Structure 1
Amino acid sequence: MSAAISLPSGSSKAEERKVLAGTLVGTSIEWYDFFIYAQAAALVLGPLFLAPVSEDNPGLAQIIAFATIGISFLFRPLGAVVAGHLGDKLGRKQMLVFTLVMMGAATALIGVLPTYAQIGIWAPILLVFLRILQGFSAGGEWGGAALMSVEHAPINKRGFFGAFPQIGVPIGMILATGVLWVLSTSMSPEAFNSWGWRVPFLFSIVLIIVGFLIRRSVEESPVFKEMQLRKKESAAPLGQLFKHNTREVVLAALIFVANNAAGYLLIAFFLSYTTRVLGMERPPVLLTTTVAAFGWLIFTLIGGMLSDKIGRVRTFQIGYTLVLLWVIPMWFLIDSKNLFLFFVAAFVLTIGLGLSYGPQSALYAEMFPATVRYSGVSIGYAFGAILGGAFAPMIAEAIFNATGVSWHIGVYLAVATLVSLTAVSLVKETKGVDLHVKEVHEEFLREHPEAVKEFGLAGEHQTK
């Protein structure tokens, strides 16, 4: 016989603030690590780690450098599977700390990695290995952060709470581009290419220590505690996920394709294209990109809050419609070589990116049942990243090399946006669904009366 109980839908205000800080700071640091690599790939990794190819064919070396960004995405699903399985079994908090430390270690080691001139072929091999570790870590990071924020949230603020791990992406980008801008303006190009590029990677050590201490202080998700209370965790949540929720995993992946593809062009390709092809100076481009990224931050928060008012699906649809209308015209502004028009191109893109990114945590969490939620959101997100951003800079570079026309890249983005817009339109609105695990064995409550006090049940439950 079981009992139906009403569990609290949120946490204390102090704990809520701690959770928001933990998911925001940790995710910002993880994405700083990820983006600093993407921007280094746009600037220096080709000549330093692919020297023979770079000397013979600089364009091909740049394509390969961008491909190393994508390689890590191929290992995101593995990280999502491992972290998702353990997160559904052992808890969200442990996985958040583990993925943060792994990402930081891989990033710092890239900062001390010898180049091709020093150790030959081992240089790109070790670079790819560390990039794989970054991808494995990122695969498990987002799902845990998203669930910690959404599962702690009051039911009418899940979109807003879920936007906090999302704004870790633009904050990570602002940190990465900001650090590169400071270095680019404070040293010569020769010094930056020689040793200065290593500084942002090594700076990650300080950020990881801060993030580790903050995340260690966060309480476990209340929904996971309820799963423990039930004693009904699946012995194989991954198998259960694909048995009952394959459709949701596929839709989650497709929904993310366009946002991730356009986001990685903003993060990595724009910098390479404007400096290498258009001949614009690196420092002002970095500064302009950093300022434009504040639009991504602002509209991601707006997207989360708006989804609490009008729904997750509708907010996504508005965001993707804006992206679809902008991804071709923006190239004519970029090609003007005018910094202000480049800013306009990037900033307007961030409006649609933010509105189609802010509601993602809440939407994904509400699409999956609690027992497989970590696995479902992590794996859907990871496969969406492979289909979207993994090779977007490489594809954009290849399109431009083949056609010499930049707006053709916009056609590629428009197709990706149509795919994601269609996928999110197939999802039934999720706003307000119950995330909690309501059924608790009556026998368990009798054997463990302390659980009643811990979950604030006040001894009131109704026998079915």
Structure 2
Amino acid sequence: MTSSRAETFLSHKERWRATGGSIVGTALEWYDFFLYGTAATLAFNHLFFPSADPLTGTLLAFGSFAVGFIARPIGAIVFGNYGDRIGRKLVLVITLMIMGVSTVLIGLIPDYNSIGLFAPITLTVLRFIQGFGLGGEWGGAVLMSLEHGDPRRRGLAASWPQIGVPLGLLLANGTLALMLAVTSDDAFLAWGWRVPFLLSAVLIAIGLWIRLHVTESPEFERLAAEGKRVKLPIVEVLRTQRRELLIATGSRIGTDVAFYIFVLFIVTYLTQMVKIPEPTAMLVVLLSAAAMLVLIPAFGALSDKLGRRPVYLGGAVGALVWVLAFFPLLETGNLASLLVADFVGMLCWAAMYGPLASFTTELFPANVRYSGASLGFQLSGIFGGALAPIIAVALYGRFQTWIPIAVYVAAMLIITVVSVTLARESSGHTSEAAISQEVHL
């Protein structure tokens, strides 16, 4: 074997190892995050926020869910700063540990009847810590995959960690569905919901082992070798990349709202409004999520051929139209209609989420990319995913109809359409092109 061929082989090996580490780690972290969201609907509203009105208890539980989103931009600033200064790999190991420990501890909290107000307070604090860790996770995972990947296929390379979302969702809802199936209602509320949280300890150990064996990002190593690292990356982003930060934030708001309606609020809507059994509601979400494992990288690859903006805009406009049919199909209560409603909604979401990672990261120069992409991605979560379940539940409680919810989702998707339209097309930008745009002090 020649030296050049050996180098090529090692390059492919390291590329796939980095991609695999990003997928597994991101899936485990999203498992922790979604586990909380689904448990908020099934258990936390009864155990930590007791109320005579189930809808009110759910609203309070989703309020604690939103706390994690508030913490995420803080995590993005802190871990983005270190990711741009000391490297992607170490930061990803730290965020994985933070998420894992907080999730296991949630599974050990006594309920409201045991310790009173300390129960919801402790739950909310641990949820904040979860969000803090996740705030630095997404940017690092995407960059490790993108910066190890083929510059000609950055859309596909960056989309691989994105499948961590449906993988995490499948793991979270799958384990909860299993516990619902093997326990009675009383047993599930007593201890069954805790098992998936405690299982996180095993999953985090596996993810940690993989990440410790991944090499550092080659682009970061080049920046370090050439002395091009920035002392205060987030300050440089706010000083020189404000337009890009606003575009990154706005482009994801509608994407985020659509996702949390299609995968989280749908469980509440089907079980509490349409009176569908919980296992059926969760089955609908699980089947749609499984399809996303294929569709997300497919749309990421498509963005390498057609461009980030056309694919992204196609998904946003599709979701904007589909939300008008989504709720009427849910109202039928028919399983086939439920599956069609959620699958098409998630298909539109995948068309946005597939190119989102490359679209967002390519907005920023390499030496402030972790900070800029992470902050833009996580800021949108406050206005998008954090508020979506709360607003949806509140709107239904006030008007007793799905129409205001659909209008709200459509309005958020319009923000995404405008933001993506204002962005430059970046699919033709190679790593070398990004180098020429680096911020210099």
TM-score range normalised by the length of the shorter chain: over 0.9
Residues 127 and 438 (structure 1), Cα distance of their counterparts in 2 relative to 1, 3 Å cut: closer
Deviations along 1:299-332, whole A, 9 cap, x unmatched? Answer: 2111101001001111101111111110121100
Q: Spell out the pairing of 1:417-432 with structure 2 (5 A cutoff).
A: 417-432=413-428
8 Å CA contact 1:84, 1:374 repeated in 2: yes
CA offsets per residue over residues 372-395 of structure 1, 9 Å max, x none? 100000000010111111110110
Q: Percent identity?
A: 39
> TM-score of the superposition, structure 2-length normalised?
0.95
- Measured after TM superposition, the shift of residue 351 of structure 1 is 0.8
Match of 1:382 in 2: 378
Indicate conservation of the 8 Å contact 1:241/1:376, yes or no. Answer: yes
2:110 to 108, 114, 123: 114
Q: CA deviation at 1:298?
A: 2.2
The match for 2:29 is 30
Aligned mate of 1:219, from 215, 225, 238: 215
Query: Unpaired segments of 5 or more residues in structure 2?
Result: 1-6, 437-441
Larger helix fraction of residues: 2
Q: How does 1:118-129 map to 2 (within 5 A)?
A: 118-129=114-125
Take 1:209 and 1:419, find their aligned partners in 2: how far apart are those partners?
A: 39
Is the 2:80–2:139 contact (alpha carbons within 8 Å) kept by the matching residues of 1?
yes
Q: CA deviation at 1:11?
A: 7.2
Q: Give the secondary structure class of the aligned counterpart of 1:262.
A: helix
Superposition RMSD in Å:
1.5
Q: Paired residue for 2:285, among 285, 289, 298?
A: 289
Specify the alignment match of 2:3 in structure 1.
none
Deviation at 1:238, TM superposition (A): 1.3
Match of 1:455 in 2: none
Instruction: Give the 3-state SS of the residue equivalent to 1:34 in structure 2.
Output: helix
* Pairwise CA distance, 1:341: 0.8
CA contact (8 A) 2:152 2:430 kept: no
Q: Report if aligned partners of 1:10, 1:153 keep a CA contact under 8 Å in 2.
A: no
- Superposed CA deviations along residues 335-377 of structure 1, whole A, max 9, x for unmatched, are 1111211111000001110010011111122110111100000
Tell me if structure 2 keeps the 8 A contact 1:320–1:352: yes
TM-fit CA distance, 1:266: 2.4
Alignment map for 1:387-406 (pairs within 5 Å): 387-406=383-402
**Unaligned 5+ residue runs, structure 1?**
1-7, 440-464
| Counterpart residue type for residue 355 of structure 1 | A
Q: How far did residue 101 of structure 1 move?
A: 0.8
SS at match of 2:139: helix
How far apart are residue 85 of structure 1 and its match? 0.2
Match of 2:87 among 76, 79, 91: 91
Matched residue, 1:445: none
Q: Where do 1:184-263 residues align within 5 Å?
A: 184-263=180-259
Separation (CA, whole Å) in 2 of partners of 1:246 and 1:27: 27
Greater shift in the superposed pair: 319-328 or 276-285: 276-285
| CA–CA separation in structure 1 for the residues paired with 2:281 and 2:357 | 31
Structural mapping, 1:145-156, within 5 Å: 145-156=141-152
In structure 2, the residue matched to 1:328 is 324
In structure 1, give the amino acid aligned to 2:24. V
> SS of the counterpart of 2:105?
helix
Residue matched to 1:450: none
257-266 or 349-358: bigger deviation: 257-266
SS of the equivalent of 1:363 reads: helix
Aligned to 1:180: 176
**Partners of 1:70 and 1:391 within 8 A in 2:** yes
Q: 1:10 to 1:252 in 2, by over 3 A?
A: farther
Paired residues of 2:366 and 2:435 also in contact (CA < 8 A): no
1:131 aligns with 2:130: no
Ranked by relative contact order (alpha carbons within 8 Å, sequence separation 6 or more), the top structure is 1
Q: Aligned equivalents of 1:142 and 1:157: distance in 2? A: 19
- CA distance in structure 1 between the aligned counterparts of 2:185 and 2:420, rounded to whole angstroms: 45
Q: Tell me the secondary structure at the aligned position of residue 329 of structure 1.
A: helix
Query: What is the rounded CA distance, in whole Å, between the counterparts of 2:305 and 2:199 in structure 1?
Result: 40
